[in-house]
Structure 1
Amino acid sequence: MSERAALPTSFGPAEVGLRFLTAAHQARGAVDRQMAAAGLTLSRIKLLQVLAGRGPLHQAELAEALGQAPRSVTQTVEALERLHLVTRVVDPGDRRRKTVGLTEKGRSALTAGEQAGRQALERIFGALDTGQLADLAKLLVRVEAAST
């Protein structure tokens, strides 16, 4: 399909917003597929990034840092533990609480996953020239500000 054929017929806020959401969904899918090929999904990488940046955390703190429901984080942590990418240690003061930490294997997987994600983003946004990237960055700042 040519670039001209891809242009929307209407440039109203709702039409452009839907186009943006579609593009964001497609870009996220491409990044997730590239990361999955490297062994992790975007959601798992985000969890590992929090641990890499903040150190070991209780699962409730991890859920809060990720803005996710504790049960969702528990399922992800269990999967990452089976892969030996994280460890869970019972809190001696409260046996119901578990502290999650990143293993060396987890650090290596995180590095590989982040690199795969960067490659996907460079491929996607590499289709834009420097001026277009600068314009898009400015526009995204405005969209982000209007979204809060």
Structure 2
Amino acid sequence: MCPAHRPSPSGPASDEPSSDEASLDELLLGAARALRRRWASGLGPDLSPHDARALRVVGHHGPTRLGVVAEHLRIAPRSATDVVDRLESRGLVARAPDPADRRAMTVSLTPRGEEVLAQVDAARREGAADFFGGLTDRERASLAAVLARLDDRPSR
């Protein structure tokens, strides 16, 4: 008999999922990937989901240092430099000296970057509405409450 189906002292079967059932982490990661695919399909071929996230960080934090971009993307500062280089080469962001520290640089959106960010945000909203559209209001509220409890980011 499979250990997952072995009778337990408290009842006929274990509460553990069988080997053919997905675990919670697999279900959550699968749902996250499916949601990301939905909104990424609205980005077009010119912008990767990773670059779109970086654009959102820059756009939502105003002129900011590369270290802040790296922190929000949870990547190394050198990797953030590469991402910002790609966005800058496409005319979406611009670097400028940090007025508070002339040795440091900030990055901000260009007018073209603002347009693209608006498209990214619209694609994200549209993808999320489609993805969660099959849930009832009560299911969405329950899911939001559970995910908020699991979120490891500090409060805003």
TM-score normalised over the length of structure 1: 0.73
Find the aligned partners of 2:144 and 2:135 in 1 and give their Cα distance. Answer: 12
Q: Which residue does 2:87 correspond to in 1? A: 80
Shift of 1:90: 5.1
Q: Which structure has the bigger radius of gyration?
A: 2
CA contact (8 A) 1:56 1:99 kept: yes
Residue 44 (structure 2) pairs with residue 43 (structure 1): no
For CA contacts below 8 A with separation 6 or more, give which structure has more relative contact order.
1
Query: Which amino acid is 2:40 matched to?
Result: D
Q: Which ranges of structure 2 fall in alignment gaps of 5 or more residues?
A: 1-15
CA contact (8 A) 1:32 1:41 kept: yes
Residue 73 (structure 2) pairs with residue 66 (structure 1): yes
Structure 1's consecutive aligned runs of 4 or more residues displaced over 4 angstroms after TM superposition are none
C-alpha deviations, 1:16-41, integer Å up to 9, x for none? 33222222222222222322x28433
TM-score normalised over the length of structure 2: 0.70
Query: Which amino acid is 1:84 matched to?
Result: G
Q: Which residue does 2:25 correspond to in 1? A: 17
Q: Which ranges of structure 1 fall in alignment gaps of 5 or more residues?
A: 1-8
Please identify, of 77-86 and 17-26, the stretch whose mean Cα deviation from structure 2 is larger.
17-26
Instruction: Describe the shift of the 1:78–1:116 C-alpha distance in structure 2 as closer, same or farther (beyond 3 A).
Output: same
SS at match of 2:23: helix
Q: Kindly report which structure 2 residues correspond to 1:120-139, keeping only aligned pairs within 5 A, or say none.
A: 120-139=127-146
SS at match of 2:106: strand
Question: How many residues are matched?
Answer: 133
Find the aligned partners of 2:89 and 2:138 in 1 and give their Cα distance. Answer: 45
Residue 101 (structure 2) pairs with residue 101 (structure 1): no
Shift of 1:53: 2.8
Instruction: Describe the shift of the 1:80–1:141 C-alpha distance in structure 2 as closer, same or farther (beyond 3 A).
Output: same
Instruction: Describe the shift of the 1:53–1:21 C-alpha distance in structure 2 as closer, same or farther (beyond 3 A).
Output: closer
CA contact (8 A) 1:89 1:100 kept: yes
